[in-house]
Every structure is written in C-alpha cells, then in structure tokens.
C-alpha cells in the first residue's frame, strides 16, 4: 500500500486588513484542496497574521518546532515563497529542513516543490526569490518611511499616542484622553508641589487616585516633551500639532526637580557582525565593544590565551564583508537558465491564476444577478423590504470581498515579466549597491545568508560560502581576502596590546 504522507499548512497575511479581506480563507481553502488531491493528511494548520520581514517570528518558529518534533511530517504546504518567508534567515531554516530532514516544501502558486533531491540550480532560483523578497520588503520600508517622515514634518506624530492621549481614527488626529490626561496632569502637580522623585510621586498618585503607574511609564511621562507640544522621530525633534497637556513652565520646573536624583547609566549594546566572524589564529569568537570615542571595535575574545591582534572598527568590518560579496560572478548562460526556469514557473502560476480569476468573475456575476432579482421581487411585493435590505447587505459584503481577491490576483499576473536574464545579471552586478543601501544589521543578515563562516586575522579573511553561492564566486579570489590596513600606525600599535581583562583565567594565574 502507498504510504500516507502527513503535512502541515502555512497560511499567512501581513496585516489585519488582509485578514478581513478573506485572503487567509482563500489561502487555507486552496492548501486544503491541494492536500486532499495529493492524498495528504493535514497534521496541523498554522494560519496567522504576522509580518515576514523580521527575524524572530513567533508562528513561523512554532511551525518549524512542530515539524522537528514530529518526524512523521513529510511536507509543508504554502501558497508561495513570500507567504512562508521574506527574510534570508528563514530561508536558511527552510533549506536546512529540506536538506537535513527530507521535508518537502510545496509552493503552489510557483508550481515548485523543493526537497532533499532538489538540485543546486533549483536552490539558486529559490535563493534569488528569497533575496528579491528581502529586497522588496527593504524597498517597501524605505518608501513607507518617506511617507512617515513627511507626516512628522507636517507636525503629526506617526507613532502610537503616548499615555494621556488617544487616536481619533476618524479625523486621523491625536486628542487628549479624558481620564488618562488628568492622571498625567496630576503626576506633574505632585512632583512640582511636593518636590519628590518619580518613585515617591507614583506612590502618592496611587494613594490619591487609585491609579498605580508602572515605573517606566511614570519616568517616560515626566521626561517626555510630547506633553508640551514636541516629539522626536528618528533622532530629530519636530513641533507637533497635537494639543498640549502641560504648560512649558510646569514641565521645566519638574525637570529641574528631577535632575537632583540619580541617573541610570547602564547601557546594553547589540553589535551587528559578532556572529559572522571568528579568529583565524585561535578559532575563538570575535567580540565587540564600544569605546569612549563612540566607535565600535571588534577583536578576538582571547578565550584560548592572549595573542596580538588588531582592533577593527565596525566600518572596516562592514566594508571588507561588502567587498567579499561583490565577488559574485553570474554568467550569461546561468542567467538565461534562471530566467527560463522562472518563466516556466510563472507561466504555470499565471495559468492557475487566470482560472481563479475566471471563477471569481462568475461568482461576482451570480451575486449581481441575485441582487437584481431580489430588487425586482421587492418592487413587485414578493419579499419584504426589511428582508431585502438584510440580504442585499450580505451579498454586497461578499461581492466586495470577492472583488478584493480578484484585484489582488489580477495585479499579480504580470509581476514577474521583468525577470529577464538581463535583470538577473543586473541584480548580481548591483549586489554591492544593494548592500550599501542597507544598515549594518541588514548587511549582517545578507552576510549570514551567503557566508557559512568567516575567520579573520590581522591581514586576511578566509570566508566559506554557503551553497549554491560558492559556485558564483571567482575561485581565484575566494581563498582569502586582504583586510584594510589600519588608518594610522599609532592606533594600530595601541590596538595590538591585548586588554588583560579579555585574557583567560589560565593566563591570569600564570601572570600572578
């Protein structure tokens, strides 16, 4: 007998608006039908609203954990690549799942099944899909930020209203909250009148009003200039058009009182390239620290004993890693093969999409016929006007939902027309430009996607490439890469000294 295969379903939308437009229902129905046609048993359905552009997604990680915990799961069903992932780290997880556990990933709209037997050329196509999806989200974020920045310049706060205010969704403004606004005013009055610190003000506010603010909330309220008409966005302060809760004199007098208290100077740093590098001499990890000159320096941890090694600035690390990925060499023959493969997948997906569009149009036409007939029945007195209104509203909602899905499918018909060989060659040629447009944390994601590891010493880097990217790099230059020379001999000699605090316990004992 044929062995029964067990699968999980992954259906995702990015926003609540897409969920309300029945996009999730359409995805789920298509995936269930696909499982039924291919005689698969659905082990579990993961249907959720979650952005795929960020690493660390809760529902995606739950699905991966479920598949790993259940060896009988052989297949994962998703509508298309960007429904299951839109960042490079998640692509690596999916690739490892297919190659190490033998799980098959079905991408319905692309007509593709990636598995353990998938060839490197097909993985390269999927890698380009993931890279282009990542580029799409980065570009979308840039365009969104332009609109957000313009909103901030006009005096409208683009973020969530702070405590004491509320959003007016109708007029798209921020107004004073009737209850919480008075709590904010009361907190300022307590500090000003009793000349107490934040903790004492919280307790007295609780005693007088019954409202106990969290410590962070109380601190943020008393320190925020939002309440006197200003707000900060991306490090720039703007004059807001929202109403003031506190007058300027009260605010600055409160700041003078609070300035007498202690300040918390603790700071935790998150460094971009720590996970990408290792020491070529002792194979220890590379760590980073922020110095008084506000620069971030990377160096060996010295976990296996101290040894001389220069300190690299984060800019130097970012630049030479960018030089490494600039070595991508995509031949014209491979670009043609990629374009042909994507074209075949696109034709298959477009044929299915055209069939879906035809069915959606038929369903809309049926609803139009029903509404027209119901109107005639109401005019002839066959049905009551109240029943006619209820039925018409139901059909109208169904029609709007179908029209939204129809519009989405029509907009996707020609979205891959520009994926020509020249387009792939252009992406490969402009990989450094795309890298330079990203911030250091986004660059680190690209590096982790392309490089498996990258040991370094004072002079060279020795990168190891993930497949299939290793086949795209110039073999004569991929053994080692020269690192940039230090900017000055003085700084170089100073950085060659290892900090005793970074030495191992064994070295400290030998020194004593």
Please state whether the peptide bond connecting residue 468 to the residue before it is cis, i.e. omega within 30 degrees of 0.
yes
The token pair that represents 58 in the structure block: 């809760």
Give the pLDDT band (50/70/90) at residue 419: low
Question: Coil, strand or helix: which one is 41?
Answer: strand
Site of tokens 């897409």: 18
CA dihedral 44, 50, 56, 59 (to 10 degrees): -20
Nearest to 108 by CA among 15, 26, 179: 26
Regarding beta strands 296-300 and 464-465, do their DSSP bridges make them parallel or antiparallel, or are they unpaired?
unpaired
Q: Which residues pair with 5 in a beta bridge?
A: 40
Q: Which residues pair with 287 in a beta bridge?
A: 299
Question: Coil, strand or helix: which one is 482?
Answer: strand
pLDDT tens-place string over residues 75-108: 999 888 777 776 777 777 888 888 888 889 888 8
Give yes or no for a contact between 139 and 155, defined as CB atoms under 8 angstroms apart: no
Higher pLDDT, 408 or 436: 436
Select, from the ranges 113-127, 140-154, 343-357, the one with the highest average predicted confidence (pLDDT). Answer: 113-127
pLDDT (average), residues 51-66: 73
Q: Give the Cα separation of 117 and 378 in Å (integer).
A: 62
Q: What is the reported pLDDT for 492? A: 40
Domains in the chain: ranges and CATH: 5-142 (3.40.50.1390), 165-258 (3.90.1750.20), 267-512 (no CATH)
* Choice among 246-250, 319-323, 464-468 with the minimum mean pLDDT: 464-468
E strand or H helix at 452: strand 451-453
Given a cut of 50, is residue 267 above it in pLDDT? no
Q: Give the Cα separation of 397 and 288 in Å (integer).
A: 56
pLDDT (average), residues 330-339: 68
pLDDT tens-place string over residues 193-233: 888 889 999 999 999 999 999 989 999 999 999 999 898 88
Q: Give the Cα separation of 313 and 486 in Å (integer).
A: 10
DSSP letter (8 states) at residue 170: T
pLDDT tens-place string over residues 366-383: 888 888 888 888 888 888
Q: Where are the beta strands (DSSP E) in 244-373?
A: 278-279, 286-290, 296-300, 312-313
Q: Give the Cα separation of 429 and 341 in Å (integer).
A: 20
**Which ranges of 21-119 would DSSP assign to H, the alpha helix?**
23-37, 58-69, 81-84, 88-101
pLDDT tens-place string over residues 136-151: 777 766 777 777 788 8
CB atoms within 10 A of CB 329: 13
Question: Coil, strand or helix: which one is 478?
Answer: coil
Given a cut of 80, is residue 160 above it in pLDDT? yes
pLDDT (average), residues 3-20: 73
Q: How far is CA 488 from CA 288, 482, 492, in A?
A: 20, 17, 6
* Choice among 236-240, 264-268, 392-396 with the minimum mean pLDDT: 264-268
pLDDT (average), residues 285-294: 82
Given a cut of 80, is residue 12 above it in pLDDT? yes
Give yes or no for a contact between 364 and 402, defined as CB atoms under 8 angstroms apart: yes
CA dihedral 497, 503, 507, 508 (to 10 degrees): 100
Indicate the pTM of the whole model. 0.35
């Amino acid at each position: 007998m044929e062995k029964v295969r067990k699968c999980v379903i992954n259906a995702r939308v990015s926003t609540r608006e897409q969920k309300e437009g029945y996009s999730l229902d359409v995805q789920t129905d298509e995936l269930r039908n696909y499982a039924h046609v291919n005689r698969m048993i659905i082990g579990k359905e993961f249907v959720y609203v979650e952005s795929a552009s960020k690493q660390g997604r809760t529902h995606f990680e739950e699905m991966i954990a479920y598949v790993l915990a259940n060896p009988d799961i052989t297949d994962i069903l998703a509508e298309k690549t960007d429904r299951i992932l839109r960042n490079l780290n998640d692509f690596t997880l999916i690739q490892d799942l297919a190659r190490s556990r033998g799980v098959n990933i079905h991408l319905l709209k692309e007509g593709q099944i990636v598995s353990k037997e998938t060839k490197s050329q097909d993985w390269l196509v999927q890698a380009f899909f993931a890279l282009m999806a990542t580029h799409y989200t980065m570009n979308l974020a840039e365009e969104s930020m332009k609109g957000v920045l313009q909103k901030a310049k006009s005096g409208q706060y683009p973020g969530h209203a702070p405590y004491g205010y509320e959003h007016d969704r109708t007029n798209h403004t921020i107004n004073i909250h009737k209850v919480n606004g008075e709590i904010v005013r009361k907190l300022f009055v307590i500090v000003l009148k009793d000349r107490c610190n934040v903790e004492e003000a919280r307790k007295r506010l609780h005693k007088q009003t019954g409202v106990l603010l969290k410590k962070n909330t109380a601190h943020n309220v008393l320190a925020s200039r939002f309440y006197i008409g200003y707000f900060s966005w991306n490090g720039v302060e703007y004059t807001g058009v929202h109403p003031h809760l506190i007058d300027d004199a009260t605010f600055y007098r409160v700041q003078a009182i609070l300035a007498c208290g202690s300040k918390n100077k603790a700071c935790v740093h998150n460094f971009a390239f720590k996970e990408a590098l290792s020491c070529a001499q002792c194979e220890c990890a590379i760590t980073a620290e922020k110095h008084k000159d506000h620069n971030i320096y990377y160096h060996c941890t010295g976990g296996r004993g101290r040894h001389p090694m220069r300190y690299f600035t984060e800019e130097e690390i970012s630049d030479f890693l960018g030089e490494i990925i600039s070595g991508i060499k995509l031949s014209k023959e491979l670009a043609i093969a990629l374009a042909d493969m994507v074209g075949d997948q696109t034709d298959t997906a477009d044929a299915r999409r055209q069939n879906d569009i035809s069915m959606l149009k038929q369903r809309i036409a049926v609803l139009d016929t029903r509404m027209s007939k119901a109107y005639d029945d109401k005019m002839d007195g066959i049905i009551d006007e109240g029943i006619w209104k209820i039925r018409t509203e139901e059909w109208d909602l169904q029609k709007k939902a179908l029209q939204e899905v129809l519009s989405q499918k029509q907009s996707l018909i020609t979205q891959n027309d520009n994926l020509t060989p020249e387009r792939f060659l252009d992406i490969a040629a402009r990989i450094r430009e795309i890298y330079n447009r990203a911030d250091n944390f986004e660059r680190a994601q690209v590096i982790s996607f392309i490089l498996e590891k990258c040991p370094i010493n004072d002079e060279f880097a020795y990168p190891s490439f993930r497949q299939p990217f290793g086949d795209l790099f110039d073999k004569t230059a991929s053994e080692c890469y020269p690192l940039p020379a230090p900017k000055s001999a003085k700084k170089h000699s100073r950085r060659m000294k290892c900090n005793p605090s970074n030495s191992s316990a064994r070295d400290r004992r030998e020194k004593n």
